[in-house]
Structures are given as structure tokens and as C-alpha cells.
Amino acid sequence: MLFVRPDFYDEFHCLASACRHSCCVGWEIDVDEESLRRYQGTRGEIGRALRENIALEPTPHFRLAAGERCPFLREDGLCRLILTLGEDSLCDICALHPRFFNDYPDREEAGLGLCCEEAARLLTAGEGHLRLLVESDGDGTPAPTPLLRLRGDIFTILAEDAAPLPERLRRALALLGKPLAAFRAGETARFFLTLERMDPAWTALLHTLAAAEEREPALSAPRHARIAEYLVYRHFASAESEADAAARLQFCFHAVRLVAALEAYSADALRLFSAEIEYSDENVEKICRWLS
């Protein structure tokens, strides 16, 4: 069994009260069964607060307070559960966020979702290309799937710094026999406005791009190369068919150009993109179909 993670994964630490965009605000927080049993047996005032603030239907979840805040998020940005019961008291979704895990035969790949501002900072502050750290449990070295081997070829092309990044994107898609989809900023922004949206800041940013003068986004290395590599790492190898793989690669490369275009208007573009798009399977699927 292999365990894979990006080069910046182990550097991550939650910013807690220093975070400008708390993951304890605006997100649904489901409670896993084991944590629910533990909370139901917790004594004292904190136990009563837990039971009062958990709704059981349709699945157990915390009842959000005013402003869609977790009921245990204090005004100073710290978690009342951690301060009272310790970090081990957190339910799975809180303990693991912003981590994600993709499972393949004899291989688990972990990453950090860029909806977290610290994860986004660690990715883009890294030097050079994204490196994958691989550890084995000692039980042999499994052969990679065909898509994982193809992803390795894509990474090789993306790392060829002598070529401009747009050319690398075109060459990577040529491995699947597809041309790189044209990027028209206004058209892209207008399409993204038809998708499900949560944060008014994301909507405002898309409206700004839709009304802006049409121009090719400026891709700069290593920042946008690392973003492209991260997107390929997270989304490509879980494709269910060759056509799906091509659509997912188009999604990754369209996304990095959209982020680059939006960064002309907001330094928060990458985090907003991830929160609004990557965490909605429906949005990702709609974009893949649109690009196909």
C-alpha cells in the first residue's frame, strides 16, 4: 500500500483565530455516528449544549447559529469544543478539514483543499514544481493504474520550464488526443454565474470578469504551474473513462486560467474558486460537460 501526499501537506497547521475565512462559518457540519454517540454521552454544560445544537434529520448535523456560524465558534474565532474537551473531541469533518483523500488500488492519495486560505498559501508559496511524497507500508509496490501512469506523463510535461505554460497545457491535452479549449473570460464568467453559488464575493468577482475587457490571462510560473499540477493531482486520476479523463483535464486547465484571470481583481480568487467549485461535484460535472 502506498500513501501519497503533496510536498506542502505536512506543513499545514490550522490558523484558528487568525484565519480570515473560518471554515466554521457558512458550511454545513455533519456529525459522524461515532462522534454523535460520544456527544450524547458527554456530561455537564458542554454536553447539554452539544445535544441542544445537533439536529438528527436528515443526517446528524450542527444547527448553525446566526450568520451560518457553528454554534461552538466563539467570537474570538476559537472553538469552544477544543477549549473545553480538547482536539480529540472534534467530529470527523472538523478534525480532517481541509484534507481530502482519493483511493486507488493499493494507493491512498491525500491533499489539502484550497478552500482553506492557509492551504492555498502553502501551495502557491512553494518553490519549483509540485512534488509528491510517497511512503509504503512495506507490502510491495503496486503497479499504477493506466490513468496514474498518464498523470505522471502530464506532470512531466507541466514541469518542462523551457516552454511557456500555455504550450505545456496544450501538449498535455494532446496526450489524450484533444486540443486545449479556448478560454474566453467573459463567456466563462457568465457560464459560472449559472452554477450554484454560495459566497456573494464569488458572484461579485464573476460579474466583474464578465464585464471586463476580453484578454488572455497572464499565467506566471511557478505559481500557476503549481496550481495546474495540484488540480491534476486532485481531479484527473479518478476519471471513469477516457472521455471523462479528457474532460477532467480540460476542467483543470480551464480552471487555472480562470483563477489567473480573476486574480487581476482579487487576491482571494484561488480560495473562492476552490470553495465554490471543487466542493460541489455537481458544479464540476457541469463544467466538464460544458467544456466537452
- pLDDT tens digits along 122-160: 999 988 999 999 998 877 677 888 999 999 999 999 999
Bond prior to 58 in cis (omega within 30° of 0): yes
Looking at every residue in the chain, the average pLDDT score rounds to: 94
Residue 226 main-chain phi, psi, to 5 deg? -65, -35
What pLDDT, on the 0 to 100 scale, is given for residue 21? 86
Name the least confident of 8-22, 31-45, 203-217, 270-284: 8-22
pLDDT of residue 31: 95
Convert the pLDDT of each residue in 9-48 to its tens digit: 999 998 888 888 888 988 889 999 999 999 999 999 999 9
Tell me the residue ranges of DSSP E strands in 210-282: none
List C-alpha distances in Å: 181 to 110, 249, 253: 29, 10, 9
Note the pLDDT of residue 97.
92
Any idea of the CA torsion for 70, 75, 81, 83, to the nearest 10 degrees? 160
Rounded alpha-carbon distances, angstroms, from residue 169 to 7, 108, 157: 22, 26, 8
Residues 155, 225 contacting (CB under 8 angstroms): no
Q: Which pLDDT score, from 0 to 100, does residue 174 have?
A: 97
Q: What is the pLDDT of residues 74-86, one digit of tens each?
A: 999 899 999 999 9
Domain ranges of the chain: 24-85, 146-291
Nearest to 248 by CA among 209, 277, 206: 277
Q: Is pLDDT above 80 for 110?
A: yes
Question: Is the model's pTM score more than 0.95?
Answer: no
Q: What is the pLDDT of residues 89-98, one digit of tens each?
A: 999 999 999 9
The reported pLDDT for the residue numbered 164 is: 95
Q: What is the pLDDT of residues 52-82, one digit of tens each?
A: 999 999 999 999 999 899 999 999 989 999 9
